[in-house]
Structure 1
Amino acid sequence: MTHAHRPAGIHLLIDFHGIDPALLTVSADIDALLRAGAEAAGARILHSHFHSFGEAMGVTGVVLLAESHISVHTWPEYGFAAADIFMCGDAQPQLALQVIELALKPTSRVVQTIERGVATPVGLSIIDKPSAVVPAQ
């Protein structure tokens, strides 16, 4: 992978499938989980905001970082969560992904990795096995 300059950041788009619905309904728990992921990645948390759509319903929220953000939308009725982890600088989004994945225990997931801010994108890297998560170097 050759670029004229270092990417501005790494953006992970994740679809988690087969999650216990009980793990996807409490906004305070999801907030704490995403904050733990941000801390593991070496990111600095600025603010978070989460919204619950009601008892046993989904949650949507974002943790705003100095290095960008982590967001999530959950559908407990499908055992599904969509997450977005975008980090710049020295923060390592793959480490946030590991923390989130270990807590949610999905049966499967799809990750799209996008290098942001490069003049010529290399493309998407899709990983579909939880065990394939590799920390950034």
Structure 2
Amino acid sequence: MKKFGMVALGLAAFVVGMSVNNFAMSDVPPSYKVAVVDVSKVVASSAQVKALKKEQQTKATEIVKYVEKARKDVAAVSDEKKKKALEDKYSKELMAKRDKLEKEYTSKLTAIDANISKTIETQAKAKNYNIVLAKGVVLYGGDDITAEVIKVVK
């Protein structure tokens, strides 16, 4: 009985292998439309990304001002124990601000990435593309839909 099962399994594997081989060698061209997108161009052109960069620069400036104020406050204290306590306080506050800023940035960047991916998907489906690849990984071929995507994300 085991021998019969092994023969049946071998025969099934052979049939599947032959059908894959026949499909691969058939003269019928695949019905795939391939598009390429220059993702870095799309990201650089995105109004959301530009706004996020501007927001980050503003927040970075605020943090620099905070650090300068902290340095002045620490320098004004002469007692070593108070100075150390003040340094620790500012250090903890700075770490909290930095962590909050990082989390907000990551969250917003993830949302922007999802939005851009959805836009690419929508544009590809509207033009009946089956596959969309990053332009950097394609040496030749594919229709470039970067301009259409940029129009939408601007």
* Bucket of the pairwise TM-score, normalised by the shorter protein: under 0.3
Which of the two has higher C-alpha Rg?
2
Compute the TM-score of the two structures, normalised by the length of structure 2.
Answer: 0.24
Which structure dedicates a bigger proportion of its chain to strand? 1
Higher relative contact order (CA 8 A, sep 6+): 2
Which structure dedicates a bigger proportion of its chain to helix? 2
Compute the TM-score of the two structures, normalised by the length of structure 1.
Answer: 0.26
